[in-house]
Amino acid sequence: AKLWGGRFQKPVTDIVERFTESVSYDKQLYKHDILGSIAHATMLAKQGLISESDRDSIIEGLREIEKRIENGEFHWRADREDVHMNIEAALTDLIGEPAKKLHTARSRNDQTVTDMRLWCRDAIDKIVASMRQLQVSLLRLALNNQDVIVPGYTHLQRAQPVLLQHLLLAYVEEIERDAGRMIDCRARMNFSSLGACALAGTGLPIDRFMTSDALGFTAPMRNSIDAVSGRDHLLELLSANAITAVHLSRLGEEWVLWASEEFGFITPSDSVSTGSSIMPQKKNPDPMELVRGKSGRVIGGLVTLLTVCKGLPHAYNRDLQEDKEPVFDSVRTILGMLEVSAEFALNITFNRERIQKSLPAGFLDATTLADYLVNKGVPFRTSHEIAGKSVALCTSKNCQLLDLSLDELRSINPVFDNDVYEFLGVENSIKKFVSYGSTGSACVAEQLDYWIKKLEIK
């Protein structure tokens, strides 16, 4: 019989039991549930609501249950609905009467929120650690590939030359903000709902500050109705994951492009590639395709919980049971995406020669040419037009800008002089960049130093 069955005369039907149970997935909260129960029991004893010996029995029993769960010896039962009731009922089986006092001044409504907050706090710590690892991998990749110039793209058209290191640091910057969102989310989430009970608090003399401290929370939540109703802490985590997933999908796209025959910038090692069941020559960058693709489910998970919460009246509604699976899946997925991206970064080789050979295509130095003209006093718009015409001339002659003779350049505009050739060609072009945050060598070196220190790379 259910522990809440006092007023009920019939058990729920099988269909309902199967549809409403959550233990099949919320059992992964067991560690945090037990942690919360130990803190709660300790407080109940301190407040004189249960005896010290009851407390000891409870704690010992819970530790035994934890051990059994970890040894795979615990029998999870769907008819006991959820992780909370499974553990409480098992505790009753194990230690008898004292177990019946554990749920004093507590409801599953505050308990489940407490468990999830504890679980998410741990999850965020793992995510941030994985972000740091990816940043370190990217930085190492940068340090191993000094002086490689790659085409910078806008609209996937060749735009200007950039140092490979500069691009890799752009990813590092993105992840830094992603980590910042995680840290903000953690701080806002780290409050205790325990003791809010069903929704109204309790008339029993509990000490919510004590359990809050014991569980490492900043403070108890100020309003018991809010404590059991709110799920914005989960929505914020799912949002932060979704934004991170979008960043990683961009990295995935880029590396998939670079591994293509057509780009040919990188060669992933066999250890991060997979083959085809039918095409013998194939070597595919599957991990990064999946990183790109798995962004879908992280976004989907956010939409799931936003939709679940939309339009619910206060306080707790059973709909909110649906808060767990999207969070579990989102966290597991984002951790995998981060980890495999770091792994991939450590297993690619840049094809320097091939990249080098490809640089002349695409007029990557055209903007530098326009800057040259600005230096000569030509207004930028006019410079842009002159450079544009120079490109058009190259296109008709099928040559590069540095192949144009001074006469040809002067036929477009007389302002050109011999020093123009110091601005043409990718190597010359990249030397010219000087602005803060630009792809100039000194600027990039400064950024590298910043990140080496920040990430404590040795």
**Candidate residues 73, 75, 154, 398; the one interacting with a second copy per rule CB under 8 A:** 154
216 lies in the site for a second copy, by CB under 8 A = no
How many chain residues are in contact with a second copy, going by CB under 8 A? 203
Among 42, 86, 190, 224, binds a second copy (CB under 8 A): 224
CB of 90 to a second copy, least distance (A): 14
Q: Which lies closer to a second copy via its Cβ, residue 67 or residue 332?
A: 332
The residue among 68 and 89 lying less far from a second copy, judged by its C-beta, is 89
Q: Is 33 in the site for a second copy (CB under 8 A)?
A: no
Sole binder of a second copy in the list 39, 69, 259, 334 (CB under 8 A) = 259
Is the CB of residue 65 less than 8 Å from the CB of residue 87?
A: yes
What is the spatial distance between Cα 325 and Cα 319, in angstroms, rounded to a whole number? Answer: 12
Residues labelled as active-site residues: 155, 276
Cα four-point dihedral sign 251, 252, 257, 260: positive
Please give the Cα distance from 458 to 452 (Å, whole number). Answer: 8
Neighbours of 148 (CB within 10 A): 19
Selected from 56, 68, 126, 201, the binder of a second copy by CB under 8 A is 201
Q: How far apart are CA 372 and CA 368, in angstroms?
A: 6
Task: Give the CA distances from residue 202 to residues 194, 225, 226, 261, in Å, rounded to whole numbers and listed in that order.
Answer: 11, 12, 15, 67
130 binds a second copy (CB under 8 A): no
Contact between 26 and a second copy per CB under 8 A: no
Q: What is d(CA 12, CA 338) in angstroms, rounded to the nearest whole number?
A: 43
Residue 79 interacting with a second copy (CB under 8 A): no
Nearer to a second copy among residue 118 and residue 309 (C-beta): 309
* Contact range with a second copy by CB under 8 A, out of 5-13, 30-38, 69-77, 114-122: 5-13
CA distances to 150, 257, 266, 270, 274 from 263, rounded to whole Å, are 11, 7, 8, 18, 19
Segment 266-305, which members bind a second copy (CB under 8 A)? 269-287, 289-290, 292-297, 299-305
DSSP string, 262-295: TT--EEE-GGG-B--SS-TT--B-HHHHHHHHHH
Question: Which residue stretch of 29-37, 64-72, 119-127, 174-182 sits at the interface with a second copy (rule: CB under 8 A)?
Answer: 174-182
Q: Of 59, 78, 143, 312, which one interacts with a second copy (CB under 8 A)? A: 312
**Contact flag: residue 328 with a second copy (CB under 8 A):** no
By CB under 8 A, name the one of 56, 213, 253, 408 that touches a second copy.
253
Tokens of 87: 């553990």
Query: Is 439 near a second copy (CB under 8 A)?
Result: yes
**Segment 382 to 421, residues that bind a second copy, using CB under 8 A:** 382, 384-392, 395
Q: State yes or no: residue 61 binds a second copy (CB under 8 A).
A: no
Applying CB under 8 A, among 76, 153, 350, 421 the residue interacting with a second copy is 153
Q: Does 319 bind a second copy (CB under 8 A)?
A: yes
Q: Counting runs of H as helices and runs of E as strands, what totals does the chain give?
A: 18, 6
358 binds a second copy (CB under 8 A): yes
H or E stretch at 181: helix 164-189
Q: What is the DSSP letter of 10?
A: S
Enumerate residues 6+ apart whose C-beta is below 8 A from 93: none
- Residue from 167, 266, 345, 420 binding a second copy (CB under 8 A): 167
| Closest to 163 measured CA to CA, from 24, 319, 350, 311 | 350
Nearer to a second copy by Cβ, of 76 and 153: the residue is: 153
Sequence-distant (≥ 6) Cβ neighbours of residue 121 within 8 angstroms:
186, 189, 190, 216
Cis ω for the linkage preceding 315 (within 30 of 0):
yes
Choose, by CB under 8 A, the member of 86, 109, 130, 135 that binds a second copy.
109
CA distance 117 to 111: 10
Whole-angstrom Cα distance, residue 37 to residue 62? 8
Is 229 a binding residue for a second copy by CB under 8 A? The answer is yes
**Binding-site member from 128, 145, 152, 421 for a second copy (CB under 8 A):** 152
Of the candidate spans 7-15, 31-39, 60-68, 123-131, the one that interacts with a second copy by CB under 8 A turns out to be: 7-15
Is there binding between residue 247 and a second copy (CB under 8 A)?
Answer: yes
